[in-house]
Chains A and B, each alone.
Chain A
Amino acid sequence: MSADPAEQLPDPAQEERAQSIGRELRCLVCEGQSIEDSNSLFAADMRRAVRERIAAGDSDSQIMTWVTARYGDMVRLRPPFSAGTALLWASPVLFAAAGLGAALLLRRRRATVAPLTATERARIEALRKG
């Protein structure tokens, strides 16, 4: 979708690399689009920068480092696991554990309903006899 054929690299293998890097980079002015899918100026600038670095011989990870040094982890569509994102990644497990815990707690509570006292039983008997 990399909009304009004019901005593509002449070498198809390099262009393929550029597009796969681009699909990992968030277009920061769009809603959940990668820079390969957007027509915004920011996305165009970033597509060009990625291609220029590929042409200059940078590796994929060097390019990722270059981009995140300027734009932070927010620019990555798949946030990396780090101290700052640990809670984000762990949240599904945490929510499942909390739900399971709550269910078990409620279950146990239901099982341990206190037996009726002698006076309560006597009242029921009285009510039943009307």
Chain B
Amino acid sequence: MNRRWLLAAPLGIAAAAGAGFYAMLARMNEGRFDPRGVPSALLDKPAPVTSLPALDGHQGWTDADLRKGGAPLLVNFFASWCVPCVIEHPQLMTLSRQGVRILGVAYRDKPADSARFLAQRGNPFAGVVSDAEGRASLEWGLYGVPETYLLDGAARVRWRMAGPVTEEILADQLQPLLRRIA
């Protein structure tokens, strides 16, 4: 057996592991990789039946709106107390200006606070409902806010982002997916 090769092997493995670790940290920094992320159990399954009251003073949405078919749509869970939601908000506004239908769910938030959040920062939602007790959100497999679900024309969940949709995630993941399934 070649002794030099034996000596180089551990060094090679360490170097490869270091490079992999560096790449992972870089991706975490850019928000492209979340080591705590849990994959959605709903992927490729139909969106759960959702029937929630409209957020006070706003246009709501019904379960039928989820299943109308046609263009893909986004379901976004947010709360006024949620700091990452503020980071995400400009991206939702961009999508809304592009004509993407976004249905909002205010998760465990006082309706007046959710309404103030939307009045101050703009309302990207075609409809927004209130899940004040968080029961309906559990049906979606939600474990925090913000979370965003992409539904295709058949109301199947095609993509889920747990955490803010950053500019990078919008450009790298969501926009290409929207183009592909549109």
- Measured CB to CB, the residues of A under 8 A from B are 28-29, 41-42, 45-46, 49, 68-72, 74-75, 109
Contacts and interface: CB of A to CB of B under 8 A. Distances in A.
Interface in B24-50: 38-42, 48
Pairs of residues from A and B, 9 with the lowest C-beta to C-beta distance, nearest first: A72-B41, A28-B143, A70-B141, A45-B134, A42-B143, A74-B38, A71-B141, A29-B144, A28-B38
Contacts, number: 40
A75 B141 CA distance: 10
Interface of B: 1, 38-42, 48, 108, 134-135, 137-144
A72 B38 CA distance: 9
A70 B42 contact: yes
Secondary structure of the B contact surface, majority rule: loop
Given A41-B108, A42-B144, A109 B1 contact: yes
A29 B41 contact: no
A67 to B, nearest CB: 9
Contacts of A74: 38-39
A45 B138 CA distance: 8
A28 B144 CA distance: 9
A75 B40 CA distance: 11
Contacts of B41: 68-72
Given A69-B41, A70-B42, A72-B41, 16 more contacts: A41-B108, A42-B142, A42-B144, A45-B134, A45-B135, A45-B137, A46-B138, A70-B138, A70-B139, A70-B140, A70-B141, A71-B143, A72-B38, A72-B40, A72-B141, A109-B1
A41 B134 contact: yes
A68 B41 CA distance: 8
Nearest to B144: A29
A28 B39 CA distance: 11
A42 B138 CA distance: 9
A71 B42 CA distance: 8
A128 B140 CA distance: 82
A41 B39 CA distance: 19
A92 to B, nearest CB: 21
Contacts of A46: 138
A109 B2 CA distance: 13
9 contacts: A28-B143, A41-B144, A42-B143, A69-B41, A70-B138, A70-B139, A72-B38, A72-B141, A75-B38
A73 to B, nearest CB: 8
Most buried by A among B1, B140, B144: B144
